[in-house]
Amino acid sequence: MIKKVFRQMLVTQILSAMTVMICMLVDSIMIGRFLGVDSMTAYGLATPVLLVFAAFGSMLSAGVQVMCGKTMGSGDMEATNGCFSVSAALAAAVSFVGLIVVLLFSSPICTLLGAGKPTADNTVFFLTQDYLRGFIIGAPAFIFAQIMVPFMQISGNRTRMIVAVIAMTVADILLDILNVFVFKKGTLGMGLASSISYYVAFIIGIAYFIKKNCMFKFKRALVRLKTCLELLKYGVPTVINQISLVLLVFVLNKVLLEVGQNLAVAAYSVISTVGNICYCIGSGIGSVALLLSSIFYSDEDKTELKRLVKTMMGYAFVLDIILIAVVIFAAPALVGLFLTEALEAKDMAILGLRLFSLSLVPCALNTAYKNYLQGVNRTGFTEAISLMQNFLFTAIFAFILSRFLSTTGVWLAFLCGETLTLLIIVIAVWKKSGGVTFSTEAFSYLPDDFGVPDEDCLEMSVATVEDVVSASAKSSEFCTLHGESERNSTMISLCIEEMADNIVEHGFTKDTKEHSVDIRLVFKGDKRIIRIRDNCINFDPLQYLELHNTEDLAAHIGIRMVMKMVKDANYVNSLGLNNLTLVL
């Protein structure tokens, strides 16, 4: 079931990761083909500012995924709404401040980015300033779109995300065409086109959050400093990741200006733009891994965490191997979308793009794993990987190799930096596990005392009534082996049989999709915990029993009987799955 959810989430997460990148790609193509090399250079110089805003949005998004993974896993909707309220308030505050700062101080910002002084003959400076002014108008929608994604993933509202991405892309393409051929506002118009398209995606997304049946509620009383600090703490590794990227772009621009001048920066703009689209696979896998690992870690579910490690690494390797082949073959055509003149810059970009693509597999593996580590509270390791991967090693290799290989050395630095980072990760895992191993248990990187011992946990999947009967018998035998009385063993097996049978008999018949039920029975201290998870339509048995309260003792007898036997019951719907936890 989790593998299927992973695939479903991955598709929408990759597409949502492209919400910003697709606009940047379209802008790059239109700027490179119709506005010239100077405009392309200006676009490349403005990239660090775009990444700063992306860093804040990513920080909030990551914080939401970790925090909500924990609160939804425990069924605490009050804390979940607190996270939702704080993230919305922070997004509004920071986007407004950023908007004012960039508009008021665009001139010194452009100089700091490497565009030089605002002199009459410095065309690049004014082109950079124009793009920043146009782009910054869309900063609020840009940031809000990023934090809406995890909430829509949690609620299972994935179709709306895809619609928002498609609408945003279409709007950006149309507005860019209008800017080039009708309004002719140059880089300013390109920035404004992106801003408007972000608002299109934002409006489609926000429509869900203002519905009465939205599971998330904004409550001003829940905007508290403690929640704010907790959310930011969970997002710190992502901030370090994004800041590292900003620093890397800044350093590489400096190195390329030294060894290849403006043509090299223009070539790097093409490579980084195509690269950002390629990165969407790795970042999409990482985002799914972050949310799922947070939920499973909160649930102390070692089995699902190990399965997650295997699944995410498999997808990262296979998808990026395919992507490398595509990029190497299509490099001339991809570069040709951006640059129609400046033959030297085109040749430089084609070679650079092919060499850069070789880094995609280690990059995807590093990205998926560091996001997983963030979800299982290994934040120190996550931050170290981000710094090594996205700045330190690549910058060092670029500086050294460029001395001997000029711009080719810069392109090779991506592969060298990512590979060295991956090697250090593997060595760290081997050191913790006490030997050379590639087992999912070792790469789960969990504390030795995490969760319950394997012998105290019984996990089963059922798809038929016969499976339910078998699971009930296995649970009874499991309880007996753990010293439970016959009465308690019967109660536990009866709870499992009644709830699972109810799902199979009624939930499976509501649609034509393939369904299954995952059952987990855990002995933890003096508690006996049953978790039942299914992928049927939303159904809260606790709410159902409350809404259908009746004097008829025979009505809903199965659910009523179970609720009388358990000490505590909790239901939550997350990731489009029903999750019921019973404590006996």
| Non-local CB neighbours of 549 within 8 Å, separated by 6+ positions | none
Pair of tokens at residue 73: 């896993």
pLDDT in tens, 186-244: 999 999 998 999 899 899 999 989 888 888 889 999 999 999 998 888 888 877 877 78
> Which of 148-152's residues contact partners 24+ apart within 8 Å by CB, and which partners?
148/202, 148/205, 148/206, 148/209, 149/13, 149/16, 149/61, 149/287, 150/61, 150/64, 150/65, 150/68, 150/287, 150/291, 151/64, 151/68, 151/84, 151/209, 151/216, 152/205, 152/208
The average pLDDT across 23-51 equals 81
Q: Is the pLDDT of residue 265 over 50?
A: yes
Quote the Cα angle for 370-372-377, to 5°.
95
Cβ burial 334-354 (10 Å sphere, 16+ → b, else e): bbbbbbeebeebbebbbbbbb
Mean pLDDT of the chain: 86
Q: Which residue has the higher pLDDT, 450 or 475?
A: 475
Confidence of residue 547 (pLDDT cuts 50, 70, 90): low
Q: Is the pLDDT of residue 408 over 80?
A: yes
What letter would DSSP give residue 506?
I
Q: Is the pLDDT of residue 107 over 90?
A: yes
**Cα torsion angle, 112, 118, 122, 124, sign:** positive
**Confidence (pLDDT) at 557:** 63
Helices H / strands E in the chain, number of each? 20, 5
Q: Contact, 168 vs 119, CB < 8 A?
A: no
Phi, psi of 406 (to 5 degrees): 55, -135
Specify the range with the lowest mean pLDDT, choosing from 79-88, 119-128, 137-146, 270-279: 270-279
**Confidence (pLDDT) at 372:** 94
**Confidence (pLDDT) at 553:** 47
**Confidence (pLDDT) at 110:** 92
Domains of the chain: 2-442 (no CATH), 454-583 (3.30.565.10)
